[in-house]
Structure 1
Amino acid sequence: MLTKLRPFARGFLEKASAMFEMYVCALADEDYERAVVKLLDPDGVYFGDDGERVVSSEELKRRGMKSLVVIPGAEAAAAAVILDDTDTAWPSVHQDNLILVDRYLYFASAACRRFNHSRLESLVEQGRDEGEDDGSLAGVLDALRRVHKVFFDGNCSDVRDAIREVRRQVLHGCTVVFRRSDEGSAVWSLAERFGAVCQVDVSETATHVVAEHPGTQKAQWARDNNKFLVNQDWIKAASFRWCRQGERAFPVLI
């Protein structure tokens, strides 16, 4: 098995450890889990000597999913932030603690799939890699810093409130027009969670139009009225990077 560290992985751990006490919580095979932790933290600086802050996967498997309950000191979910690449591994009671990180799909794999289950080309197939300064971990680190600041510098006593506040700032000021069939959809709800106002009708207050095809009436209206025309991945990318993304990188293509 080949394992590659994500760019900025150790730098991320170094900087995040200055703000948080960190634990590893995974449902993977325990030997594999500890081997990866040893690769990430060979000197036990971030997760303790002998992996003392690595939660046993056997304990989690008995529960059937991940949980903050098995992490010492995290009984109060009001003080715990979760980073994961999937929300389905966590119970509903912990969803407000979760910051999603997009998966690092470096090697070609059948697991490289988009939200709609179509094949996603891996980074190695694209002949590139994430950047140290502008990759996913850098964006998440910035989000953690903002959450930390809101929690400790304000009147916030629950980190879940801090996460919600920081999340809402990401697309604040964006009014996004969707297809009528997308009203209430997952991507619509995602945009709202990150602070956007969503609507199905075009208006002067609209800032963005999300379209699947450049030939639709709404897409043409966006071009005629100097509005941003983007595909749905613009919203998904903002949700993973926790900052508004450049619209030109998400064109609506034929």
Structure 2
Amino acid sequence: MHVYTMGLSNYAQTVLNLIDPDKVYFGDRVITSKESPNTKTLDLVVADKRRVVIVDDTVDVWPNDKSNLLQITKYEYFRDGDDNAKLKSYAEKKIDESPENGSLASVLKFLQDIHRRFEEELDSEDLRLLIHDRCRQGCF
């Protein structure tokens, strides 16, 4: 797995220290705005595009890889710096989304299903077909 952010390296490292402090899942596979300042591309990821699932809340930054994109709703645990934001972040509300039915839990279930299918060699030739089928049902 990779972390791919339009943010700066220090932002990416802060997030990684929280979600993967032992570098078990992402290691040092981080792409930031330094390597990709205006758009995101799978050309910077060494992988077979048929086997890549992009999880992102922004479609426009992936102009050439939309078929790999699983769009999710924006998850804002911390305020993004916009003092005029009408909605409070989860941290400000001192809550989080539902661990069973929230968008992150739903995405996790979908990714686990894709992984299972991949391991069992069911529908694993091109994961983009599974993404397309899921996106027709609606985003997370």
The TM tier, using the shorter chain, reads: 0.7 to 0.9
Structure 1: segments with no counterpart, 5+ residues? 1-21, 114-118, 169-192, 195-237, 241-254
Given the alignment of the two structures, is residue 65 of structure 1 paired with residue 65 of structure 2, yes or no? no
SS in 2 for 1:57: coil
Instruction: Provide the C-alpha distance between the structure 1 equivalents of 2:95 and 2:72, rounded to a whole number of angstroms.
Output: 19
Q: Which amino acid in the other structure matches residue 43 of structure 1?
A: D
Percent identical among aligned pairs is 37
Higher relative contact order by CA 8 Å / sep ≥ 6: 1 or 2?
2
SS in 2 for 1:153: coil
SS in 1 for 2:59: coil
Q: 1:36 to 1:123 in 2, by over 3 A?
A: closer
Q: Which amino acid in the other structure matches residue 141 of structure 1?
A: L
After superposition, the CA RMSD in angstroms is 2.6
Mapping of 1:2-81 within 5 angstroms? 22-48=1-27, 52-61=28-37, 64-72=38-46, 74=47, 76-81=48-53
The structural deviation recorded for 1:36 is: 1.8
1:140: which partner in 2?
107
Instruction: Provide the C-alpha distance between the structure 1 equivalents of 2:50 and 2:84, rounded to a whole number of angstroms.
Output: 34
Report the structure number with the largest CA radius of gyration. Answer: 1
Q: 1:125 to 1:34 in 2, by over 3 A?
A: closer
The structural deviation recorded for 1:104 is: 2.0
The structural deviation recorded for 1:67 is: 0.9
2:132: which partner in 1?
164
Instruction: Provide the C-alpha distance between the structure 1 equivalents of 2:104 and 2:31, rounded to a whole number of angstroms.
Output: 22
Instruction: Provide the C-alpha distance between the structure 2 equivalents of 1:56 and 1:160, rounded to a whole number of angstroms.
Output: 24
Given the alignment of the two structures, is residue 99 of structure 1 paired with residue 67 of structure 2, yes or no? no
TM-score (normalised: structure 2): 0.80
The structural deviation recorded for 1:68 is: 0.8
Instruction: Provide the C-alpha distance between the structure 2 equivalents of 1:112 and 1:145, rounded to a whole number of angstroms.
Output: 37
1:88: which partner in 2?
60
SS in 2 for 1:83: strand
Instruction: Provide the C-alpha distance between the structure 1 equivalents of 2:40 and 2:74, rounded to a whole number of angstroms.
Output: 18
Q: Would you say the 8 A contact 2:12–2:32 is kept in 1?
A: no
TM-score (normalised: structure 1): 0.47
Q: How many residues align?
A: 138
Structure 2: segments with no counterpart, 5+ residues? none
Q: Would you say the 8 A contact 2:54–2:70 is kept in 1?
A: yes
The structural deviation recorded for 1:121 is: 4.5
SS in 1 for 2:70: strand
Q: Would you say the 8 A contact 2:8–2:32 is kept in 1?
A: no
The structural deviation recorded for 1:84 is: 1.0
SS in 2 for 1:69: helix
Instruction: Provide the C-alpha distance between the structure 2 equivalents of 1:111 and 1:100, rounded to a whole number of angstroms.
Output: 26
Q: Would you say the 8 A contact 1:112–1:121 is kept in 2?
A: no
Q: 1:31 to 1:85 in 2, by over 3 A?
A: same
Q: Would you say the 8 A contact 2:51–2:126 is kept in 1?
A: yes
